[in-house]
Amino acid sequence: MTITFLILAGLTIAGTVAAMGLRNLIHCVLALTLGFVGLAALYMHLGAQFAGFVQILVYIGGVAILAVFAIMTTQSAEPVTRPGSAPFWVAGTLVATGVFAVLAWAIHGSGAHGRVLPAEPVVTAQQIGFALMRGYVLPLELMGLLLTVALIGAVVVAIHERGESI
Under rule CB under 8 A, which residues in 117-156 are in contact with another protein?
A: 117-119, 121, 123-128, 131-132, 136, 139, 143, 146-147, 150-151, 153-155
Gap between the Cα atoms of 43 and 130, Å rounded: 21
For the chain, the residue count is 166
**CA end-to-end span of the chain:** 52
Residues 8-67 that bind another protein (CB under 8 A): 9, 12-13, 16-17, 19-21, 24-30, 32-33, 35-36, 39, 42-43, 46-51, 53-67
Q: Give the residue among 67, 53, 82 at the shortest CA–CA distance from 19.
A: 67
Chosen residue from 7, 72, 133, 137 binding another protein by CB under 8 A? 72
Min dist CB 162 to another protein, Å, is 13
Among residues 27, 33, 55, the alpha carbon closest in space to that of 43 is found at 55
Which amino acid is residue 125, in one-letter code?
A: A
Compute the least distance from the CB of residue 81 to another protein, in Å: 12
Of 7, 11, 41, 71, the one binding another protein (CB under 8 A) is 71
Phi/psi-derived region of residue 47, left when phi > 0, alpha when psi is between -120 and 50, beta in every other case:
left
- Cβ proximity to another protein: between 55 and 162 the closer is 55
